[in-house]
Structure 1
């Protein structure tokens, strides 16, 4: 919500609460953010912001996200259904808000396992872009949808969309740095999809291409390049090259700052993939040592029911079981299943996999 900084300085309380809503959202304090957003909508609609303008549209998008993260997706759908007619009636000038609301609702539906409904929302977003002749915006949304599909565990759908998007990124007119960043991110997402579809060698190759694209932007310390390197390590583990993955991950762990939110998120993710590499090498005690601190980090930065947290818990349980600690493994899986089933990503395949592993213990 960076747009609020350009607004007039009238209504100091309103603008302060709008800032606080953003800060709470970024800090994953979703209940506090939701309370602020509700106040902003009631007090500011028509007074400080046009009720169906772009700025208020972003407020409603944030409200949908906060509700979803709080496990209140039915309320998110009700809110979406209540505000969408007003934005549609406003006409073309509300088009950006309409597409943003549709995309957010589609993402929420996908995370809950309502794939067909989600794809309908995504298709409407793209159709509206094409209807206005804005192919560049359609491409930008399609890049985001690749991420939505891969992160929610829809590897096949993500792969299909990525293979459509990549040639379009080559052909479209855009700044070269933007092209390289988008291409690198899509190739990284494609690498995850391939690795999760049982084609890890192809995933490694795509991840290497992603690293090459992204490292060229700002040097080897680029956050996006680090993400691609972590994806490459994951693909290496899946392809039976866990020793190479371990070496890469330990190099990365030694080189970054954990003082901020992004650093803590990265630390949790790196330790999670390192744990997988160690389990693949049969070094279960070392894996447990890496994964125990990773899960609280991931829970605090991503959420206890987030797919990456659930995956780390599943690997930790496997390491504990191999180390002769089946009771603790069962406890870890039970907590993960509860978090997954009650969270916003309950439709992710990892939730079902954890349920199966718990039943087999």
Structure 2
């Protein structure tokens, strides 16, 4: 039984990047042997084990054979005779198909080190096309390593188009699509993820609505990303280029977190109030539409999105000043200044709104 460090940890070490997660592959072992050594099995589709002390993931060396459609249609073989080279062969990119021994020796049967030097994202084998999820993964790696000068190999780009044109992206679950997308949105160049999908004809079916507004959407994502590293805020800035119905559709299809839905809707629905007009009344409408009174943190979250949409820094400052002034209004503050004891229900709400408008006008 031999254990090797594999995948991203080896790649990131060679790139001089911080290694966050360390994954291992075990050659020549059985599930029974791993359990006997104190490991805890967590994998359902294939045996993955947690180290009893470090909780690092240890997977048995395996091969995979395509037997159905989609990213889950694989028969997995974890026989102890599976070699390290066979295990690495099933991986997506050469830079992810390297291993390291306990003594620090790099095992690189498919040219990963050379492709790191060439700054190339290249597939390991023709079996690459069997898993449609790899289209999203390669797009994500392209976004993650774009700042380091990486590009996708021409032959790999052709395979990405081939997978997309087969229509197998539709077989991926919404949860997996969002997981890859959110990871890409956290990267230093998130727009590259969607640029890549667009270039290889892979926006449909998951991001089909972006096709008609791709240039505007990507520009907003770039601008927002320079102001915020929050993946959900970045996503809302991207989706803000869509019409309201399309924004709802893409959020529903991807099963995005509620916060993304709320920020996307707020971005789309408030544009008209600052793009076509700018007044105390429009500012109050904007703040009310995004529920800023009950959720003041939403105002802060919207600032980089509005900036990416084109709101000027002067208007952003005015909006912040007006919000700060209007937040001071409450039932208690009204009671101190006027007689509201005779007011009930909607009348109290109207009085508060009028006081907020007065505060906004004074700060405008």
- TM-score (structure 2 length as normaliser): 0.37
- TM-score (structure 1 length as normaliser): 0.37
Name the structure with the higher helix share.
1
